[in-house]
Structure 1
Amino acid sequence: MAADLSHVDTWLFDLDNTLYPAESGFMAEIVDRMTDFVERVTGLPREEAFRLQKVYLAEHGLTLKGMMLNHGVDPKEFHAIFHDMSLDALAHDADLLSALERLPGRRLIFTNADDIHAERVLKHLGLGHLFDDVFHIGTADYEPKPSLKAFERMGALHGIEPATTCFFEDSERNLAPAHDLGMTTVLVGPWAPQSTAAFVHHRTAKLAPFLMDAQLKPAA
């Protein structure tokens, strides 16, 4: 059944693995570069560096946060490792472009990545012009999702009304605070249909068909 999103006028989207398919493999390259960075900073063997990376991700919602707290890492130095990544794995999606264009109201990006990465990816996908703003990790003062503080800072900056906001994410746990605040939540990705979390309102393997089928607020 088509999702009834006729109450929504603010559309909040995660970036990586949400506005492009997880199957692209792009995130795998990001993870490889993070592991390289943790290995270099800590001097740990690669397998241990990878495990530590995942520990920090689980504890803080972001590998960078753990590296900042425990190793004094400069976030700008960390983010710079992604700025020369090839974007060839990311393809234009005409169906997604059309689906996003039909959404009434504001469209915002809410990402744990930095501004340069977000701008590069959105430009490459041909979607940058569709979004009113990008709330990135720097804007959040390096407080990552799923921290409630990140949501509160984003909400305060953009005057978010949770009851009329829909949040799209590939990470299930990042939807929990959105739900608790009163937003409509949508889990996106090939793993989404198997989710049973009570805080997930809608699940879709692919974003574009879900948006095209959704019931929207009539045009003013």
Structure 2
Amino acid sequence: MHPGLHHIDSWIFDLDNTLYPARTDLFALIDVRMTQFISNLLGVDAVEARRMQKEYFYEHGTTLSGLMAAHGTDPHEFLAYVHDIELDRVDHDADLVEAIARLPGRKLVFTNGDTPYAQRVLDRLGLGGSFEAIHDIHAMGLVPKPDPSAYTGMCDRWGVNPKTALFAEDMVRNLKPAKAIGMTTLWINNGSEQANAASCPSFVDFETDDLSRWLGKFTGELA
């Protein structure tokens, strides 16, 4: 194990564009559903709905948070609608399943999505039984990453010591609050739209464009 990781006893992973490659592009399908939801909800055309969607995302952390703040949107209704997508583009990832199984300690998923969607994705990847828990947007009290309360709440709920935890995430802004409470951070810089960063900032400890390869390298088992 890499010397900078000897102290890690909890491995925490974002879901989308982290546990599967950004090229899978599930978000493109979800993005269309979000635009449709806003268009239907507010009676605006697709162009205006998409503009509002992106505005809410950047100002509130998630489109859902913006919709709740501005329009009192029911989160269960929104999440069920936008996650009603086919997952046939998600491939079983035997290397990742093997690498995560070899990690010493606990493993959790920490996602701004909801558990039913996350479980469907994990099952497609072959990771359905690989994690102790999924800490989702409902567990966060509907206050998403990167709000600091999401991180402290996750640690409190599952008894995670942030100083002995690693958090892997494709959205670099979501790593800053993790680092602030003492987590080791891994940026999955795989070109996802949401990453939105050109270089490695000070709150990123490790960086990779391939999670399977990175984990394999540090467990010493995969090529």
Equivalent pairs: percent with the same residue? 46
Secondary structure in structure 2 of the residue aligned to 1:214: helix
Query: Are the aligned partners of 1:5 and 1:215 in contact in 2 as well (CA < 8 Å)?
Result: no
Give deviations 1:39-98, integer Å, cap 9, x for gaps. 111222211211111111111111001101111110111011144311101001111111
Letter aligned with residue 146 of structure 1:
P
Corresponding residue for residue 211 of structure 2:
207
**Alpha-carbon RMSD:** 1.6
Letter aligned with residue 204 of structure 1:
T
Give deviations 1:152-211, integer Å, cap 9, x for gaps. 111110111111100000100000000111100001132379422111111100000100
TM-score, normalization by structure 2: 0.92
Alpha-carbon distance in structure 2 between the residues aligned to 1:152 and 1:20: 25
Give deviations 1:104-141, integer Å, cap 9, x for gaps. 00000000001110111111211021100000001111
- Which is further off, 115-124 or 133-142? 115-124
Letter aligned with residue 36 of structure 1:
Q
Query: Are the aligned partners of 1:109 and 1:134 in contact in 2 as well (CA < 8 Å)?
Result: yes
Corresponding residue for residue 196 of structure 1:
200
Query: Are the aligned partners of 1:22 and 1:189 in contact in 2 as well (CA < 8 Å)?
Result: no
Query: Are the aligned partners of 2:67 and 2:73 in contact in 1 as well (CA < 8 Å)?
Result: yes
Corresponding residue for residue 36 of structure 1:
36
Structure 1 residues 209 and 3 mapped into 2: Cα distance closer, same or farther (>3 Å)? farther
Structure 2 unaligned residues grouped into runs of 5+: none
Kindly report which structure 2 residues correspond to 1:137-148, keeping only aligned pairs within 5 A, or say none: 137-148=137-148
Structure 1 unaligned residues grouped into runs of 5+: none
More relative contact order, 1 or 2 (CA 8 Å, 6+ apart) = 1
Kindly report which structure 2 residues correspond to 1:81-120, keeping only aligned pairs within 5 A, or say none: 81-120=81-120
Secondary structure in structure 2 of the residue aligned to 1:167: strand
- Which is further off, 81-90 or 184-193? 184-193
Secondary structure in structure 2 of the residue aligned to 1:89: coil
